[in-house]
């Protein structure tokens, strides 16, 4: 079984695109420094499937 664990909350106005919130959300991982595996896989909704998102994940060291 795979567990999904919320990493934090980023507030934003309603009816806005979620993709600009990806970086601030992933930056919340720093709270868990030393407690996360070196290699992590990020699972996102199909709406995030873009070259920009893939580039951001690569830059941050996630796949």
How many of the other CB atoms lie within 10 Å of CB of 31?
10
Distance from C-alpha of 14 to C-alpha of 3, rounded to nearest angstrom: 27
| pTM, two decimal places | 0.72
Q: What was the pLDDT predicted at 51?
A: 93
Confidence of residue 47 (pLDDT cuts 50, 70, 90): confident
Reported as a single tens digit per residue, the pLDDT across 17-32 is: 888 889 998 898 888 8
Other C-beta atoms within 10 Å of 1: how many?
2
CA distance 18 to 14: 10
Distances 55 to 4, 25, 32, 51, 59 between C-alpha atoms, Å: 23, 16, 23, 6, 6
């Amino acid at each position: 079984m795979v567990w999904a664990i919320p990493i934090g909350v980023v507030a934003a106005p309603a009816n806005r695109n979620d993709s600009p919130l990806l970086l601030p959300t992933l930056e919340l991982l720093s709270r868990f420094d030393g407690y996360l595996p070196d290699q992590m896989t990020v699972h996102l909704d199909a709406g995030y499937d873009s070259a920009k998102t893939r580039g951001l994940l690569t830059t941050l060291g996630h796949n």
